[in-house]
Amino acid sequence: MQKMRGWAGKLRRSKKKSGSTSSGSSGPTTGRLYRMRRVAARKLGHWARCAGAGFLAGLGGLLTLPLGLLWGTWRLLTGHRDPLHGFAYPVRTAGRIWRFFFRRSKARHDKEAKADTLNLKVNNPRKDTDPVTGPSVAAGTTVLDGNTSKFAMAMRAAHSAYTGYSPRSMMEVAAEYAGLPNGIRAAALAVQQMAVNADQKYPCSKKALAKLSDACAKLVAAAARADGMVAFFRMVHAFDIERIVAPRTNEWMWNVTPNGADAPEGAMFMPGRIESGCVLMAVLYRTFEPVHMMQVGSEFQGIAYGLTALADCVQVLYERTNALYPVDDRVTDEIGKLVSMIRAASDDADMAAKLFVEDHHREISHNTNPRKGPAAESMWNTPR
């Protein structure tokens, strides 16, 4: 009987071990399967869009085939030196259609891949880890750190992405100009979302909320001014843009230097680095849900830091435009005014953070320096 009991005990222990091992390994396996599904869905979507681009390119080539034949025949009959240029018109049209849609699909694929690598999970610094010891943050420490906020880190990543990038052609510079309105609007959208949440969901200072709304309004005004700057740039440099987008035969013979442009003609229509960073930040910021008001305070501070990073980024664009890029001086002046408007919005956001700290100094003090310890201070917790 004792031997049978011993065997039964061993069997139970072995089952427990096997059960715990299988349950522990299911998490990473599930995570790997999820990542594999995401990668497969992303690549299949890219391939499907490429197939559609090929179909549209072929259709465009077929539709322009009669025109190409007529143009080539006319050049041949008139003794033009390059009659093949007319016959090749359908091929060029199909190529442009293919490149346009392929680059858009590739940019979307890369943006989704970058979004999958980012992590916006919230680490709750005030989580009650133990009913006796209280929060995990030690007394006397502060967690109102805007430098680690989601908004500030995302905008600084966008700043690093642009400042470490050197455009190869004015078409890439034009893409940066064209992306400024959308990028600034994306930042304004994130600030607006924080303001709306602070008004509707969080027990937040109304004075701080009003200043944050002022920052959002100034960003919207800056985006509207950026729209005018882009339209003015395209009007003033219409001839230069036309030479690259729709070049004449052997247009390269008018180049100032023997070297041709490294960037393709469609680079002007690609999203800029500043725009991509701001839009990605706005998309990911929608999933951010603070679980403690100390995190909300950190985001208030981080919005000011993030807008400062955005202003610094546009400042770099202004300095490069002023020193390196052959554009009209009025375009340069408009970019400088955009920098001033974004910095004004950053000042309002900074004031909102100061008002948040001022109006909530008691709550912050109770969290950072709990009276008689976290367990005692938690006796003032409100019901959830």
Burial of 335 (0-12, 13-18, 19+ CB in 10 A): buried
Is the pLDDT assigned to residue 108 strictly greater than 70? yes
pLDDT band at 6 (very low <50, low <70, confident <90, very high): low
Q: Tokens in use for 17?
A: 């071990």
| Residue 84 within a domain | yes
Same domain, 139 and 174: yes
For position 253, what pLDDT does the model report? 56
Count of residues in the chain: 384
Q: For residues 296 and 335, state if they share a domain.
A: yes
Phi, psi torsion values for 44, nearest 5 degrees: -65, -40
Same domain, 201 and 305: yes
- Are both 275 and 351 inside the same structural domain? yes
Task: Judge whether 324 lies within some domain.
Answer: yes
Q: Is residue 276 part of a domain?
A: yes
Per-residue confidence at 341, pLDDT binned at 50, 70, 90? Answer: very high
Is the domain of 109 the same as that of 140? no
pLDDT digits (tens, 9 = 90+) for 257-270: 666 555 555 555 67
Asked if pLDDT for residue 284 goes beyond 80, the answer is no
172 assigned to some structural domain: yes
Domain identity same for 63 and 104 = yes
Separation between Cα atoms, residue 215 and residue 209, nearest integer Å: 10
Q: Is residue 65 part of a domain?
A: yes
Is 15 inside any structural domain? no
Q: What is the per-residue burial (b if ≥16 Cβ within 10 Å, else e) of 104-119? A: bbeeebeebeeeeeee
121-170, pLDDT tens digit by residue?
434 444 444 333 333 333 333 456 777 788 888 888 888 888 887 777 78
Eight-state DSSP code of residue 125: T
Same domain for 200 and 311?
yes
Of 117, 145, 178, the residue that ends a domain is 117
Indicate the pTM of the whole model: 0.60
The domain total for the chain is 2
Tell me: do 105 and 177 sit in the same domain.
no
| Domain range enclosing 66 | 31-117
10 inside domain? no
